[in-house]
Chains A and B, each alone.
Chain A
Amino acid sequence: MSYDWNVDVAPGFMDATRRSVRQGITSYLIGLALAVALTAASFYVAYTNLVWAPGIPIALAALGIAQIGVHIVFFLHMTTAPDNTNNALALALGVVIVALIMIGSLWIMANLNQRMMPMDQIMQMQR
Chain B
Amino acid sequence: MLRQIEGSRAVAETVALCRPEVVCAYPISPQTHIIEAIGAMVASGALAPCEFINVESEFAAMSVSIGASAAGARAYTATASQGLLFMIEAVYNAAGLGLPIVMTLANRAIGAPINIWNDHSDAMAVRDAGWIQLFAETNQEAADLHVLAFRLAEELSLPVMVCMDGFILTHAVERVDLPEQPQVDAYLPPYEPRQVLEPDDPVSIGAMVGPEAFEEVRYLAHLRQLDALERIPAMATEFEEVFGRPSGALVSPYRTEDAEIVVIALGSVLGTIKDAVDARREAGDRVGVLGITAFRPFPSDAVREALSRARSVVVVEKAFSIGFGGVLSTDVAMATHDTGCTLRTIVCGLGGRPITRRSLEEAFAAAAQDELDSLTFLDLDHEIVERERTRMTTTRRSGPSAENILRDIGTVASRMD
A and B form one complex? no
* Residue positions of A touching B, CB distance < 8 A: none
Residues of B within 8 A of A (CB): none
